[in-house]
Amino acid sequence: MKIICVGRNYGAHIEELQNERPEHPILFLKPDTAIVLKKQPFFIPDFSNDIHHEVEILVKINKIGKYIDKKFAPTYYEEIGLGIDFTARDLQAQLKEKGLPWEKAKAFDGAAVVGNFLPKSTFESVDDINFSLKKNGETVQKGNTRLMLWKIDALIEYISKYFTLKIGDIIFTGTPAGVAKVNPNDKLTGYIEETEVFSIKVK
């Protein structure tokens, strides 16, 4: 399986990092080796002093598809989840400055937390889902999918022009504002609406 991530999909997050508003979705990939295994902690890698949490809504693909029209996109997923796109912000800044790919800062081992998935039918609309991240019991990121610049179905249409989507692929749909550094012994807990969908220790 592969992970397809969307960058800069929430206005407030674009502003906090003083990035430009993209004309099209920004995409990058993470390999399956980036996923933190269930019940394991996240280990801060030795090549970064500034690992940020980015909490993001996840979409799990359940059907193979390419050139998927937006109106058929809902038939390609049944489950919505939540995860963290861990980012080595210091390394990413260096790579961005040189115009180099972000992979080392975004796709390293442990850079993807994938929480539990909930059936799509749980929600009245996938374009109105509240989600949040607590760090040591305090809410640090909060979002709602209605604030995405490109909504889930539009993302599936766009992504599938470039990458064939396969069963089990996961889309990370972008982070809202509030990204910040993690430190050893932090505990990160993710919520979709009121349901806890992951809890992970930082080491």
- Between CA 31 and CA 34 the distance in angstroms is 6
* Closer residue to Zn ion (CB): 54 or 157: 54
Contact range with Zn ion by CB under 5 A, out of 58-66, 67-75, 79-87, 130-138: 79-87
Identified binder of Zn ion from the candidate list 3, 35, 54, 61, rule CB under 5 A? 54
Residue 40's CB: how many other CB atoms inside 10 A?
13
Per CB under 5 A, 92 contacts Zn ion: no
Q: Which alpha helices (DSSP H) does 25-126 contain, by range? A: 89-97, 103-106
Count of residues binding Zn ion (CB under 5 A)? 3
* CA separation for the pair 3, 58 (Å, rounded): 10
Instruction: State the minimum distance, in angstroms, from the CB of residue 28 to Zn ion.
Output: 9
85 contacts Zn ion (rule: CB under 5 A): yes
* Min dist. Cβ of residue 38 to Zn ion (A): 21
Amino acid in the structure at residue 9 = N
85 or 153: whose CB is closer to Zn ion? 85
**Which string of b and e fits 65-76 if b means at least 16 CB within 10 Å?**
beebeeeebeeb
Each residue 171-190 as x (binds Zn ion by CB under 5 A) or -, in order, gives: ----x---------------
- The alpha carbon dihedral of 56, 57, 63, 64 has a sign of negative
Footprint of Zn ion on this chain (CB under 5 A)?
A: 54, 85, 175
